[in-house]
Structure 1
Amino acid sequence: MSIEGRGVQSVEVGGRILAAMVKAGKPLMLRELATLADVAPAQAHAYLVSFRKLELVEQDAASGRYQLGPFALQLGIARLRSFDPLRLAAQAVVEFAEEVGLMVTIAVWGTHGATIVQVQEGSDQVHVNVRTGTVFSITGTATGKVFAAFMPPKIIEAHLAEELRKGARIQGVGASTSRKELEAEVATARRLGYATTESKPVTGINGIAAPVFDYSGQMQLAITLIGPTGVLDIGPKSADAKALLAFTRKLSAQLGYAPHADAEASSDEGAEIVAAPVAKRRRRA
């Protein structure tokens, strides 16, 4: 996000030092920290003295390494208490839908399963019966499969067993498939970081769904792209998949989610996902 106006350079330099500590996720020696923040060690030391006085940073007496202090924790807790994941996502998807030109939905895990709480139309409108309150099946939709992949299994299992028992008689969008098929799709979703459907549950319509996590690593909601098969590319290297993951990872970061570096690297290697702009879509004839 670009913020207009003249700021205070020393505050911004101090922010780079704090950001480097957050990104590292471990105590750092002065020289390591200075390198990560791209400042001279002597300059970093002066900032760290002030930060220690404010208890934003503390220094281990034995090793000399620096780490975030108790006041940094208090700031984080205050942020979390005042932040609503759904409100954050609801505001963000308006711009995202305009950017990608597709329908974007927000779903939470409700009493009856994966439940749509917001539908945002894109410039390329999709004629599907999706509205607030619609429940998506676990096995038959990208949204349901992403919840199956990233929510605790004990939460999903009761709904899944009922869905498989009822089969075609389930109340919700998406025909039920088998547990074996779901297990394979869940494994793929965990590897890629998102779930997909091609030309189902509505013929000619694709879906890509990705999770949003909070500071504790708990999945809070799912963001789903919905579009015609000739428009929405569900491939792992597609611009649509890249854009969706960049969007959900940004939301997760704003909620305090900080995945382990090795897990994040593994996900990136499997999907080769990087933030990328979405090309302007050609309108269908």
Structure 2
Amino acid sequence: MKPDGRGVQSIEVGARLLDALVSEGESMMLKDLARQAGIAPAQAHAYLVSFRKQGLVEQEGQAGRYRLGPFALELGITRMRSFDPLRMATEGAINLAAETAMTVAVVTWGSFGPTVIQVHESSDQINMNTRAGTVYSLSGTASGRAFAAFMPEGLIREFIKTERREDNSGQRIGKSQFLSKTTIAEIRRNGFATIEDRPVPSLAAISAPVFDHVGQMQLAITMIGPEKILDTSVGSRFVETLLSATNALSYQLGYEAKHVRPGGVGSIAGGHHD
């Protein structure tokens, strides 16, 4: 949501210079920085002099390249300390449920695997067995598969082994299924997970990851609804709305896909998990 009211133009112009440094991710010459910010070099220099005085930017020795300064780092650290991911995820999930008329769950990684911490129901009552504290199967649910694709490979391997051993214990929602390298690659490519052989046949689900500033998956947002209504195909309005929400949350956490590879995960060995 954009802020209301008229802003200060000079601050907005200066912010374009800082944004150029953030986007580039490395030090820049004045002419390149000015060009990317869309202003004249002389104008950019005047802003940069003030930014240097405040510690927002600094110059590298004789080369004269500009980079973000120590005060910019302090701002970033303060932002991360004061930011509450769960609060933002809650707000995002509530808005998502209202916008789509679907049930939305916030899922984190717990001691026993993907664990629901919040459920925001749609206006229509859906008969499902998901509530706070529910543990999802890694390979047998959309939420689980999102974690399987974006969490560290070693961790996921061990949990899949545990899931196979405990498949009949009733501790998890969803029966373990075959999870291939191809499926994992597809989830990573699309940015979301779904599943055909669903735990509840009449319900469909879409789950997408939320990443932090170092590219680690922090949680998943899962949309659940009637299979006749909830279109889980790539490019559907439900998928696009979910991805828009999770991308916004990741951005709030400092994640920038251009510079950080999601999850840092290698391929997961396929196998039957019956």
Provide Cα deviations, 1:181-224, integer angstroms capped at 9, x if missing partner: 34432221112111112361111211111111111211110011
8 Å contact 2:215–2:261 — kept in the other structure?
A: no
Counterpart position of 1:4: 4
8 Å contact 1:135–1:172 — kept in the other structure?
A: yes
Counterpart position of 1:76: 76
AA in 1 matched with 2:188: R
> Does the C-alpha gap of structure 1 residues 154 and 216 become closer, same or farther in structure 2, counting only changes over 3 Å?
same
> Does the C-alpha gap of structure 1 residues 165 and 151 become closer, same or farther in structure 2, counting only changes over 3 Å?
same
Instruction: Give RMSD over aligned pairs.
Output: 1.9
Counterpart position of 1:29: 29
Where does 1:139-178 land on structure 2 (aligned, <5 Å)? 139-178=139-178
Counterpart position of 2:121: 121
Structure 1: gaps spanning 5 or more residues: 265-285
In the alignment, the residues of structure 1 paired with residue 48 and residue 110 of structure 2 have an alpha-carbon distance, to the nearest angstrom, of 46
Note if 1:134 corresponds to 2:148.
no
8 Å contact 1:102–1:125 — kept in the other structure?
A: no
> Does the C-alpha gap of structure 1 residues 203 and 13 become closer, same or farther in structure 2, counting only changes over 3 Å?
same
In the alignment, the residues of structure 2 paired with residue 3 and residue 260 of structure 1 have an alpha-carbon distance, to the nearest angstrom, of 26
Provide Cα deviations, 1:39-98, integer angstroms capped at 9, x if missing partner: 222221111111111111112233332111111111111111111211211122211221
In the alignment, the residues of structure 2 paired with residue 198 and residue 107 of structure 1 have an alpha-carbon distance, to the nearest angstrom, of 20
Counterpart position of 1:186: 184
Note if 1:246 corresponds to 2:244.
yes
Where does 1:102-117 land on structure 2 (aligned, <5 Å)? 102-117=102-117
In the alignment, the residues of structure 2 paired with residue 48 and residue 168 of structure 1 have an alpha-carbon distance, to the nearest angstrom, of 64
Counterpart position of 1:211: 209
Offset at 1:243? 1.7
8 Å contact 1:102–1:122 — kept in the other structure?
A: yes
| Number of corresponding residues | 262
SS of the aligned residue for 2:63 comes to coil
Counterpart position of 1:267: none
In the alignment, the residues of structure 2 paired with residue 158 and residue 63 of structure 1 have an alpha-carbon distance, to the nearest angstrom, of 50
**What is the TM-score with the length of structure 1 in the denominator?**
0.85
Counterpart position of 2:47: 47
Counterpart position of 2:270: none
**What is the TM-score with the length of structure 2 in the denominator?**
0.89
Offset at 1:125? 4.2
Q: Which has the higher contact order (CA 8 A, sep 6+)?
A: 2
In the alignment, the residues of structure 1 paired with residue 36 and residue 203 of structure 2 have an alpha-carbon distance, to the nearest angstrom, of 45
Q: Percent identity?
A: 50
AA in 2 matched with 1:195: A
Structure 2: gaps spanning 5 or more residues: 263-274
8 Å contact 1:199–1:206 — kept in the other structure?
A: no
